[in-house]
């Protein structure tokens, strides 16, 4: 890297792509040659985790460096509070360090009505030079995909959304100044389920024909959690096609860096905001469960000459750790108020033992837990209102009339599919108690009173209430 300028950062993330949906992660069915090759040039993290496995919460941690109860994004469609309230986030730190800032794609951090653009100013969280987004819109078909321009006007792409967004990203990269480092975030919606194309045929997962043509339905073997029914094969095929679509456009970005001659000067990161359950573990949504298919995400990093190449790492890293870790890798000062861990030293030293556990949390429904290299543990705080349960009608399996339990305890070394719940096992009481204590210790660390969802809203004064959460007194009757 040239000593005359800071390194660039290209952060690319898909939406709802589980850790096992890459060829390099051991999936022999999904076709992701670009990302597989990229993983061979850098680091692949085996234990990357979305601490809170839903879109808004996960993205808020990435950009703010704060726990969702401290940045206001404890459920989807809440506003990430501005820096003047919660302190500078990742975008502000890089902007103030002289970076040219760009953000393209899904945002989902404005709160309220999704059908509006993100206005210039504090709600763009430091990405002031180029901001092109549709906020959150889940129809990626060419007839519907769009973005909001700088005048607040809706502009149709006229092509599949990820294709159009990649065009925008390539333009941003091509028009930068040679003497100024860039920070570009590219946020694609796929492979998140969507409402375009032919959802009846692909069960809400659809992609351009060229990517569906890579797969044969009768050869698809669904995940081990699912029976090999025609419906599940079609669903898996559509999802795989979307993963291949993401892979293709990632390759376009890497080719642009090569053309620009900045590969050695650029830290490139690929990950996702959370995983996809396909209805496994009685999930009533595509995410939000403590199991691996929901919380574990792909995470790849490449920086030639700085990060080792071709390494699969066992270091535990959560989305809450991402902002301080990236800042540390780039050689910038990590703000004291951020709540994640700066794991840059552990990554550079190849120390996979630096982290013992990652906290897990979800607020709607309310559960807390812990992820270690061996165990996944979670316990729930139940709401009693029938109206609350009515919110959990499955969009994957409409016939379900029950709410799943999130009291779970898995030994992933002997149960990788997490089909044997040890939560009530009398033979594992000692380990379960230790994991319970660690879970409560993480709650104490974040000043999280672990209320039920209804109790949390009561404490905040209603749906629009805003933390600081440290002013909330624990309620024993929630």
- What's the pLDDT tens digit per position in 143-166? 999 999 988 999 999 999 999 999
What sign does the dihedral 371-376-381-383 (CA atoms) show? positive
Q: What is the pLDDT of residues 85-114, one digit of tens each?
A: 999 999 999 999 999 999 999 999 999 999
Q: What is the pLDDT of residues 425-471, one digit of tens each?
A: 999 999 999 999 999 999 999 999 999 998 999 888 888 888 866 65
DSSP 106-127: ----B-S-SSS---SSGGGTT-
Asked if 60 and 75 count as a contact pair (C-beta separation under 8 A), the reply is no
* 120 CB burial (10 A radius; 0-12, 13-18, 19+): exposed
Asked if 360 and 450 count as a contact pair (C-beta separation under 8 A), the reply is no
Residue 423 sits in a domain whose CATH number is 3.30.1120.10
Domain annotation covers residue 478: no
More confident residue, 384 or 171: 171
Tokens of 446: 């974040």
Domain annotation covers residue 3: no
Same structural domain for residues 343 and 393?
no
Nearest to 271 by CA among 351, 207, 187, 209: 187
Q: Which domain holds residue 27?
A: 8-353
What sign does the dihedral 284-276-239-413 (CA atoms) show? negative
Domain annotation covers residue 67: yes
Q: How far apart are CA 206 and CA 292, in angstroms?
A: 23
Domain annotation covers residue 408: yes
Please provide the size of the chain in residues. 478
Q: Model's pTM, two decimal places?
A: 0.94
Q: Which residues pair with 79 in a beta bridge?
A: 110
Total domains present in the chain: 2
pLDDT at residue 240 tops 80: yes
Nearest to 455 by CA among 438, 472, 434, 435: 472
Nearest to 126 by CA among 152, 97, 148, 146: 97
Same structural domain for residues 301 and 376?
no
CA dihedral 5, 90, 52, 464 (to 10 degrees): -160
Same structural domain for residues 283 and 342?
yes
Same structural domain for residues 152 and 43?
yes
Same structural domain for residues 215 and 340?
yes
* Beta strands at 375-381 and 146-148: parallel, antiparallel or unpaired: unpaired
Task: Write down which residue in 333, 353, 373 finishes a domain.
Answer: 353
């Amino acid at each position: 890297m040239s000593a005359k300028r800071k390194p660039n950062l290209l952060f690319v993330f898909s939406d709802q792509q589980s850790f096992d949906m890459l060829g390099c992660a051991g999936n022999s069915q999904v076709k992701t040659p670009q990302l597989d090759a990229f993983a061979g040039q850098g680091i692949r993290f085996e234990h990357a985790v979305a601490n809170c496995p839903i879109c808004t919460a996960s993205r808020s941690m990435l950009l703010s460096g704060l726990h969702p109860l401290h940045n206001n994004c404890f459920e989807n469609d809440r506003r990430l509070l501005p820096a003047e309230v919660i302190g500078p986030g990742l975008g502000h730190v890089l902007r103030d360090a002289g970076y040219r800032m760009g953000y393209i794609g899904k945002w989902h951090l404005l709160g309220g009505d999704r059908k509006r653009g993100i206005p210039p100013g504090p709600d763009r969280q430091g990405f002031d030079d180029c901001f092109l987004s549709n906020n959150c819109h889940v129809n990626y078909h060419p007839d519907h995909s769009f973005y909001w321009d700088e005048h607040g006007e809706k502009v149709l792409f006229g092509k599949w959304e990820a294709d159009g967004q990649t065009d925008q990203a390539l333009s941003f990269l091509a028009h930068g100044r040679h003497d100024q480092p860039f920070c570009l975030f590219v946020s694609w919606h796929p492979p998140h389920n969507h409402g375009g194309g032919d959802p009846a045929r692909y069960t809400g997962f659809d992609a351009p024909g060229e990517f569906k043509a890579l797969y044969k339905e009768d050869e698809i073997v669904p995940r081990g959690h699912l029976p090999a029914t025609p419906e599940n094969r079609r669903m898996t095929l559509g999802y795989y096609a979307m993963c291949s679509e993401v892979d293709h456009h990632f390759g376009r970005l890497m080719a642009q860096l090569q053309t620009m001659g900045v590969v050695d000067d650029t830290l490139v990161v690929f990950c996702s905001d959370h995983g996809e359950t396909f209805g496994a573990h009685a999930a009533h949504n595509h995410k939000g469960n403590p199991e691996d298919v929901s919380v574990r995400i792909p995470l790849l990093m490449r920086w030639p000459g700085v990060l080792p190449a071709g390494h699969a790492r066992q270091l535990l890293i959560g989305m809450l750790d991402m902002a301080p870790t990236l800042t540390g890798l780039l050689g910038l000062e990590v703000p004291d108020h951020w709540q994640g861990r700066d794991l840059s030293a552990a990554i550079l030293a190849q120390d996979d033992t630096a982290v013992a556990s990652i906290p897990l949390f979800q607020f709607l429904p309310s559960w807390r837990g812990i992820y270690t290299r061996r165990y996944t543990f979670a316990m729930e705080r139940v709401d009693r209102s029938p109206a609350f349960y009515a919110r959990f009608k499955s969009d994957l399996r409409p016939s379900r009339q029950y709410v799943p339990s999130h009291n779970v305890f898995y030994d992933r070394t002997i149960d990788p599919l997490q089909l044997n719940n040890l939560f009530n096992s009398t033979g594992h009481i000692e380990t379960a108690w230790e994991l319970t204590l660690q879970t409560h210790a993480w709650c104490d660390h974040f000043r999280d009173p672990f209320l039920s969802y209804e109790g949390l809203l009561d404490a905040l004064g209603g749906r629009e209430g805003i933390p600081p959460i440290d002013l909330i007194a624990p309620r024993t009757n929630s």
